[in-house]
Every structure is written in structure tokens, then in C-alpha cells.
Structure 1
Amino acid sequence: MTHAPTPTDPTQPGSARERLLDAAEALIYAGGIHATGVDAIVRQSGTARKSFYTHFESKDALIAAALERRDERWMNWFIASTQRRGKSARKRLLGMFDVLRDWFGSADFHGCAFLNAAGEIASADDPIRVVARKHKARLLDVVRAEVDALATETQLDARRTAPLARQWLVLLDGAIAVALVSGEADAALDAQAVGKTLLDAATKPTTTQRPPPRRTRT
């Protein structure tokens, strides 16, 4: 069982910037942006407050940078874990929910860091919201690549790939949200069941109805 990777321990040796990023990511993921102050981040990082201002112009800049780093790490983990779920696009798409279920069952699961962050920031132009939006765009691209692969393996109409990918992203994010609120890792399996229905409907062969035979005069 492989869980989503977490930031390294900020108390361990490392550059002041990296330790600040580790501390910021861990604290905001566990407790939220507004509940986490600069003093708490500096204290957990084991750096001097001067180091914070040396590397970051503001708390928001630090959080945006921490989320960007998490995006890269989380996406690498999710893609690699998904690829191990099967050789066919269908198995990989459905396997995404098994990957999420493993993550949901981990002790440090607190939902999607990017949805959580976006929910605390009102402005769509805020750098933190921008990072969250880019993360979801990247995840959609990963899903779309698998749906495109599914189209080449099955009779899926190419015109259905874009909407199916968007629907799949809704299922993934929906499972994450339900698992966070309910504490039930099996929310991933519920979403997976809906996904199977979607795939079955999308790849079902279409039959062309033949016109009735013409009657001939005798």
C-alpha cells in the first residue's frame, strides 16, 4: 500500500527555505491557511524569523510556493501509482480510485490540499487559487490522456473524450471530499462503481437500426 508522499521532517537538516516550505505545507494541510501563522511556521521549521523574510515576501507567497512543490510531488505519485494499476486504459482509470482509497486510509489524509486552500481564498486571482487551479488542470490532463487511450482501445467516440474526462475529475474530487467529511475510505469505491457505469455506457457498441425490407409487388 503506497500513500501520497508527505513533506520531509522540517526538524531535519536542510536549507532554511526547504524547511520553511516543509513546515508551511504540513501545518496548512493539517490546520488550514488562516489558522496557521508565520510564527508557527518559523517555529516548526527551526529557522530564524529573518530567514522567512529573506526567502519569501509574504505568508501567501510561502504558501503558494509550498503548494506548487506539493503539486509536483503529488502528481508524480498519483501518475506512477495509476500506471501500476493495469495495462489497459480502463484498468488504469478505475484503478485511480483504488489509489485514492489507499490514500484515504492513511493517518495523514486531510482531503485535497488544493481544494482546501481554494476554499479559504476568495479572490480567483490570488496566487494560492492560481496554484490550486493549475493543479486541477494538470489532473484533468492526466485523466484526459487515459480517456484518449481508452478511445483507441475501444469503440469510444472521440467526441466523448473531453466530457468524459471532466466527469471523471468530478468523480475523483467528489470521492476526496466525501472521504474527508465522512472519514470513510470506501467513498473511493462508491465513486469507482459510478465510474464503471460511465465507462460501460460510453464504450457500449452502437448498433445501426436497419430499415424494414421493402415490399415488392407480385
Structure 2
Amino acid sequence: MTPTAAPGKQAARTPAGQAREKILATAFRLFYAQGLRAAGIDTIIAESGVAKATFYKYFPAKDDLILAYLEKVDGVWTGQLHAAADAAGSDPADRLVGLFDALTSACRRDGYRGCAFINAAAESASGTRVHERTAAHKENVRTWIRGLAEEAGAPDPDQLARSLTLVLDGGLASGVLDADPAAAIAARDTAAQLVAASLGHTAAPGN
């Protein structure tokens, strides 16, 4: 994620442009593995190998770092959802089901701890910047899914989008609680049934 410094006199120093990325990469790993509050600033500074002054130059408060972390997670997870939908083809109904393949892949990764946004919401008070960012992410995902539902011809795209995002979030949570990737497969099958029912189709087994 962070380019390796070239050997030479400046190898021991981290260029200014890379310092922020080193901090963010370390926070990305620790926040997800340990939780937002358990991962302390001193630990992040020590493991990222930057000076304390450098850290506070880029992130004056811990919440600033948490928001940057969530922004990065948003880009990664949203990209995975879109890629999974794209892989399912051009039909909007297939894309609505195909996006759940991103969930299957996520649940099978080592160190999987569920949805970073759900975890962050559980650790932040309502009305704070962090909590608002988690809510915004969920709303953006739901809006995208609603657009696909509308393209697919769902008579009530709002309801279908809400149902599918609830299944998606449930699959994310169940994947870590059950420690079983089968939860993601079940979520995909449920999504296929919801889409088929909404569109008046019959869902094929394992679709």
C-alpha cells in the first residue's frame, strides 16, 4: 500500500507524502482488528514508524484518523460490491443478486471481523461525525441498490432495496458471529428469492 523507500541516504526517512499513507495503512489494520477505541494513538504512531508531530500534522484528533479510515474502507467495500455486481452481467436483476458475491469473498478472508461500518457505529455516539459517516455509507449503498431495483422493474424499489441491504448487513454480521462463510451463501440465496418475488419470477436454486 505504501511504496518502499529507495536505498540510499534518505532510506531512513519517510517522505511527507508517504507518512500519511503509512499512518492510514497502520490504522486500517489496527482499527479493523482491534476496534476504534482499543487501538490507541500511541500504538498507531509506534507501528507506523512516524514521529508524533508528523502524526498530529495529518490527524489533529483521533476522530480525524477514524474518518479517514472509514473513507478508505468505503472505497474498498463499495468497489468490491460494484465489481461483484458487474461480474454478474448487465441484467439489473442479476446484478442485485450478484453483488452478494462480494459478501461471500469477504467472509472467507482471514481476520474477517464483520462490517467495519457496523462496528464503527456500535462504538460511536449518535450525532457524532463518525456515526454520521457510517450512516452515510449505508445510505449510499442503499441508494445504489435502489437504482438497480428500479432498473430491474421492481414495483417498489425502495422496499426491495431496504430488504436487500438488511440481508446484506445480516450476512456481514452473521459471517463473523457464526465464523462460517455459509452465512454469505444463505444471504445470497435469500437475496435471489427477494428479487424473484419482487419481480414476479421464480428463483432458481443456487441462483
* TM range, smaller chain: 0.7 to 0.9
CA deviation string 1:112-139 (max 9, x = no partner): 1110011011x21211111111111111
Q: For the Cα contact (< 8 Å) 1:71–1:135, is it kept in 2?
A: yes
Match of residue 109, structure 2, among 106, 109, 113: 106
Higher Cα Rg, which structure: 1
Superposed, 1:72-91 pairs within 5 Å as: 72-91=75-94
Q: For the Cα contact (< 8 Å) 2:81–2:100, is it kept in 1?
A: no
Tell me, which stretches of 5 or more residues in structure 1 are unaligned? 1-7, 206-218
SS of residue in 2 equivalent to 1:82: helix
Which structure 1 residue ranges, 4+ long, deviate > 3 Å from structure 2? 9-14
Alignment-derived partner of residue 212 in structure 1: none
SS of residue in 2 equivalent to 1:111: coil
CA RMSD of aligned residues (A): 1.9
Superposed, 1:1-218 pairs within 5 Å as: 8=1, 15-121=18-124, 123-151=125-153, 156-157=154-155, 160-204=156-200
CA distance in structure 2 between the aligned counterparts of 1:198 and 1:79, rounded to whole angstroms: 19
Q: What amino acid is aligned across from residue 175 of structure 1 in structure 2?
A: G
CA distance in structure 2 between the aligned counterparts of 1:59 and 1:87, rounded to whole angstroms: 42
Q: For the Cα contact (< 8 Å) 1:10–1:20, is it kept in 2?
A: no
1:11, CA displacement in angstroms?
Answer: 7.9
Q: For the Cα contact (< 8 Å) 2:67–2:130, is it kept in 1?
A: yes
Query: Measured at CA, do residues 69 and 23 of structure 1 come closer, stay the same or move farther in structure 2, by a change above 3 Å?
Result: same
Q: For the Cα contact (< 8 Å) 1:10–1:46, is it kept in 2?
A: no
1:161, CA displacement in angstroms?
Answer: 0.7
1:85, CA displacement in angstroms?
Answer: 1.6
CA distance in structure 2 between the aligned counterparts of 1:23 and 1:84, rounded to whole angstroms: 31
CA distance in structure 1 between the aligned counterparts of 2:110 and 2:179, rounded to whole angstroms: 11
CA distance in structure 2 between the aligned counterparts of 1:11 and 1:131, rounded to whole angstroms: 32
1:97, CA displacement in angstroms?
Answer: 1.8
1:77, CA displacement in angstroms?
Answer: 2.7
SS of residue in 2 equivalent to 1:15: helix
Please report the TM-score for the alignment, with normalisation by the length of structure 1. Answer: 0.81
CA distance in structure 1 between the aligned counterparts of 2:70 and 2:175, rounded to whole angstroms: 21
1:50, CA displacement in angstroms?
Answer: 1.0
CA distance in structure 2 between the aligned counterparts of 1:97 and 1:9, rounded to whole angstroms: 30
Tell me, which stretches of 5 or more residues in structure 2 are unaligned? 6-13, 202-207
CA deviation string 1:133-185 (max 9, x = no partner): 1111111122112111111xxxx32xx11111011100000000000111111
CA distance in structure 2 between the aligned counterparts of 1:141 and 1:108, rounded to whole angstroms: 29
Q: For the Cα contact (< 8 Å) 2:174–2:183, is it kept in 1?
A: yes
Q: Percent identity?
A: 32
Q: For the Cα contact (< 8 Å) 1:111–1:176, is it kept in 2?
A: yes
Q: For the Cα contact (< 8 Å) 2:167–2:191, is it kept in 1?
A: yes
